Chain A
Amino acid sequence: MKYEAVIGLEVHAELSTESKIYCSCSAKFGADINTHTCPVCTGMPGALPVLNKQVVHYAAKMGLATGCTVNRLCKADRKNYFYPDLPKAYQISQFDIPICENGEVFFYVDGEKKSCRLERIHFEEDAGKLLHDEIDGTVVDFNRCGVPLIEMVTKPDLHSSAEAKEFLEMIKTTLSYLDICDCKMEEGSIRCDVNVSIRPEGSTEFGTRVEMKNINTFSGAVRAIDYEVARQIEVVENGGTIQQETRRWDDVKLKNTVMRTKEDAQDYRYFPDPDLIAVEIDDEWYKQIESEIPELPISRYERYLNEYGMTAMESRQLMDSYAKATLLDTAAASGKVKPKAAANWILSDISKYLNDKELELENTKMTAEKLVDLICLIDAGTISGAAGKKVLIQLFETDETAEQIVERLGLKQVSDEGAILEIVKDVIAKNEKAVADFKAGKNVTGFLVGQCMKASKGQGNPQIINKLIAQELAKL
């Protein structure tokens, strides 16, 4: 029998606010143990939370970018459970009324457009971290305690690990477009739990689902899903039944084990947090949030693919980087250059420079205006393509315009045919061996062009040189 996997995800993203969700401690990653702490985030008796409204702003932004309805009255609820990394023994989360509901995320898998509905997005506080190896015993680091999170819960709309991966990538890209998450996987900025069930292909009923925790990377999610789907098929094929349970994924051993069964499911005793009052997103605030939503990644992707005539891979590469795609769109909007030409520069030389130097585009001096000027100079024949590459490096590193750089480096191309003809004649005269080879039927054009470029200190227009060499050789 053939089976279909049914997959739902719960994605946690840490929001990149300056301070924590309920106190003024820094939310930055990587500080010394227990230095970003105060009575509030360590759950000292008597300390009280005060909501950081930036969290509401960011969460609503993600909701609007994923087509959710935003609930204007945001309340917070307590989720009660005991664990040493949770100093109040409850997490302040949202229960019955999440800030965002009923969204949908679109993405492409192997050229086919798919979607996955979002059931809800809510905001909550992160827990601390248990460090087992620092000393003899266990240390609780409360730095992460109170770092704001949004949790995005999907409907069970995904049917393969590949779909799950593309969905996650699209969530990550959207978060980066909105500039609300660092998206640093290695720092745990985005984490996800996976719900998996299987059913006979063609069936519309849901099988018993298994939740998997401890998935830290997208590729880990793929491995965990593939493993779990195969495990469930094997259980069913052998006449067994799937138990509703939570399993822990081990990405080193590449297998999962039971964490807890349905019987010991926890009762979190959710109730409205009496220490907090509901926060209203009024019309003005809502409009402000709305105005901050940029063109979404999928829309850019489709525009590059359909309007700019780029390949799927090129479109995807551009979409993945908000900065690069924005550079392209701004350059294209000038109307002075072909989008495709700008895209080629961005995907090749610009990307290479950034990779080599390990820089982010926004941390260099490159602007769309500079890039447009550069392309125009090449298109007009003022400089050669080769000279353009030299100019490009300077554009990243100086405040000069392309023209100023061309001037300073003396890269202006000589297109005066009379002047070039002098050089061509001189080169032919000085290279008797090449002339002899030519007469013997060999192709010496490349060699002679190179000599001419050298003689012109690189400034001769190669097309004109080519043309004049052909013309002069023909005279021999």
Chain B
Amino acid sequence: MELFKKTATELSSMLKAKEISAVELTNDILARTEAVESKVQGYVTLTADAARKQAEAVDAKRSAGDELSDLAGIPVAIKDNICTKGTLTTCASKMLYNFNPPYNATVMEKLAAHDIVMTGKANMDEFAMGSSCENSGMHPTHNPHNLNKVPGGSSGGSAAVVAAGEVPLSLGSDTGGSIRQPASFCGVVGLKPTYGAVSRYGLIAFASSLDQIGPFGRCVEDTAMLFDAITAHDPKHDSTSVKTPFEGTTRANLNADMKGKKIGLPKEYFGEGISEEVRKSVLAAAETYKSLGAEVFEISLPLSEYALPIYYILSSAEASSNLARFDGVKYGYRTPNADEDLIALYTKSRSEGFGEEVQRRIMLGTYVLSSGYYDAYYKKARAAQRKIKAEFASAFEKCDAILTPVAPTTAYEIGSKTTNPLEMYAGDICTVSVNIAGLPAMVQPCGFDSNKMPIGMQLIGPRFGEQTLLNAGYAFEKATGLKNIIAEL
């Protein structure tokens, strides 16, 4: 029946109308996974048996006449840094290879209340540090559109399994672009919500002040549906969680009317370093918006050039503290080689358990927080962060959304950048400022390059501007038909 090719929105209607059962859907999805997963390798852990059981339970509820969510019975993959009680949550790290969380992340509780079917835990760069999924301590994930290329990162697994038709929806997390850049590389929709809109409770922290969980889908409506399910004020578990004005209502309020909407094109995001194909494709999208009645004009965000160093200082600083708890004492990897003393247990467990990139960031972060360097790095970065926030705020006085490229290029060859971390970091240039400013941003496909690799565009909104972004994305989809792109495999 090839149910895997359908969007979550379509599947939801079919399930409601009892044209298909959740078990049929799950089996179809799992069959597709079986056929292509050995090529894509998007999962760290597949939970096929549990998924079938969940699907049976949903079907039972439906036949009993229970009032069910639109998401009931829809398969969803979960990034492997989101705690799932009873299912391994490894952060794609040797350090947590055996970690079985004793509790569920708030988003998992939310999804359970919506009766979703979890298919498995998606691969990622270790502890969400990386932009290609090559830093996974388990295995790399391959871009379903070209298996020799990276799917992007860090939520590369979450994006790849959606693009490959292994699942219609997934959750990722975004600290500096980790949802948006893989969405762009894999040709799917990815939403990085306003900081605080989705509870971080149970998301294994990389950089607490920047991390945000968000949804992937193959179309805007699917993405909105999953976003609605996970958005909730969570004051009992997450102090940084906030009450949003749109909680749970974005899908119902989707509106493709772009007339009079103001879209800014920040010139700094289209300059040197951005490939010609990417630039052209995003500028073409701007033309599409014009044709839909939007006002499109150039703006300037001159402080954006500082975003990258600010990001690497703040995120590494927080990571060095957040990852200090992985010491081999209570859970996770413990070195078998430390019989000397406690310090040896710590240092060997950490040296053997963490990958190179994670160790690099821990050292970087430890350095910028050290006494004597704190003021020059961490404190200065915080001050600069406030300026970037202010710059965005004043930009949003003039426009409803900002349109930019997502990454300088489309997906690159596996192994082509792994020897040069700085080059890898530079790939985050278009996405990190959004996290620094705590803003929402959405990525969706806007075209293909000459190698048939997807090109994504990024729409950045003001704080709580999710509805605006989803509407603009919805309008673009309708105008161009660029949605539900499933890689040929």
Contact = CB atoms under 8 A, between A and B. Distances in A.
A99 B91 CA distance: 37
A332 B485 CA distance: 86
B102 A39 contact: yes
Interface string A67-106: 0000000000010101010011110000000000000000
A46 B108 CA distance: 13
B83 A49 contact: no
Interface stretch (B145-153, B159-167, B234-242, B277-285): B234-242
B201 A277 contact: no
Contact of B239 (A48, A269, A271): A48
Contacts of A271: 317, 321, 369, 374, 378
B265 interface: no
Contacts of A48: 200-201, 237-240
Contact of B201 (A42, A47, A84, A89): A47
A363 to B, nearest CB: 35
B225 to A, nearest CB: 25
Given A271-B374, A276-B239, A46 B205 contact: yes
A46 B203 contact: yes
A267 interface: yes
A94 to B, nearest CB: 15
Given A87-B330, A275-B239, A45 B204 contact: yes
B439 to A, nearest CB: 17
Interface string A36-54: 0001001111111111000
Given A46-B203, A46-B204, A277-B239, A87 B83 contact: no
B103 A44 contact: yes
A274 interface: yes
A335 to B, nearest CB: 51
Contacts of A267: 370-371
B325 A274 contact: no
Interface string B237-270: 1111000000000000000000000000000000
Nearest to B238: A48
Contacts of B103: 39, 44, 47
Given A45-B83, A274-B318, A82 B346 contact: yes
B366 A269 contact: yes
Contact of B324 (A39, A50, A89, A270): A89
A140 to B, nearest CB: 8
Interface in B218-235: 235
Interface string B329-363: 11100000000001000100000000000000000
Contacts of A51: 239
A78 B209 CA distance: 14
A89 B238 contact: no
A437 to B, nearest CB: 86
A274 to B, nearest CB: 4
Contacts of A44: 83, 101-103, 331
Contacts of B205: 45-46, 275
A87 B325 contact: yes
A275 B240 contact: yes
B156 interface: no
B239 A82 contact: no
Contact of B236 (A50, A87, A269): A50
A48 B213 CA distance: 15
B437 to A, nearest CB: 15
B202 interface: yes
A78 B96 CA distance: 23
Interface string B72-105: 0000000001110000010100001001011101
Interface string B360-390: 0000001001110010001000000000000
Contacts of B318: 274
A82 B203 contact: no
A262 to B, nearest CB: 14
Interface string B110-144: 00000000000000000000000000000000000
B101 A45 contact: yes
Specify the main secondary structure of chain A where it touches its partner: loop
B327 interface: yes
A339 B204 CA distance: 63
Interface in A200-214: none
A42 B324 contact: no
B238 A269 contact: no
Contacts of B204: 45-46
A88 B325 contact: yes
A455 to B, nearest CB: 75
Contacts of B342: 84
A50 B321 contact: no
A275 B342 CA distance: 28
A167 to B, nearest CB: 31
A425 B88 CA distance: 99
Contacts of B324: 80, 82, 88-90
Contacts of B317: 271
A43 B346 CA distance: 16
B208 interface: yes
A90 B321 contact: yes
Nearest to B96: A45
Which one of A44, A89, A274 has the highest number of Cβ atoms from chain B below 10 Å of its Cβ? A274
Given A45-B83, A271-B321, A271-B369, A82 B327 contact: yes
B203 A80 contact: no
B321 A78 contact: yes
A277 B241 CA distance: 10
Contact of A50 (B89, B237, B366, B378): B237
Interface in A229-284: 267, 269-271, 274-277
Contacts of A43: 325, 330
Nearest to A43: B325
B325 A45 contact: yes
Max chain A C-beta neighbours (<10 A), residue from B236, B238, B325: B325
Contact of A274 (B89, B201, B208, B327): B208
Contact of B240 (A80, A87, A88, A277): A277
Contact of A46 (B105, B239, B369): B105
Interface string A10-41: 00000000000000000000000000000100
A44 B99 CA distance: 10
A275 B202 CA distance: 12
Contacts of A80: 320-321, 324, 369
Given A82-B327, A271-B369, A276-B239, A46 B321 contact: no
B186 to A, nearest CB: 26
B101 A50 contact: no
B104 to A, nearest CB: 10
A307 B291 CA distance: 90
Contacts of B202: 46-47
Interface string B405-427: 00000000000000000000000
Contacts of A84: 329, 342
Nearest to B196: A277
Contacts of A47: 103, 201-202
Interface in A258-314: 267, 269-271, 274-277
Nearest to B343: A82
A39 B102 CA distance: 7
Contacts of A45: 83, 89, 91, 96, 99, 101, 204-205, 325-326
15 contacts: A44-B331, A45-B83, A46-B204, A47-B201, A49-B239, A50-B239, A51-B239, A80-B321, A80-B369, A82-B324, A89-B327, A140-B329, A269-B321, A269-B371, A271-B317
A-B pairs, 9 with minimum CB distance: A89-B324, A274-B209, A269-B369, A274-B208, A45-B204, A46-B202, A46-B204, A46-B83, A39-B103
Given A46-B105, A87-B330, 9 more contacts: A39-B102, A45-B99, A45-B326, A48-B240, A82-B327, A84-B329, A89-B321, A269-B321, A276-B239
Interface of B: 81-83, 89, 91, 96, 99, 101-103, 105, 200-205, 207-209, 235-240, 317-318, 320-321, 324-327, 329-331, 342, 346, 366, 369-371, 374, 378
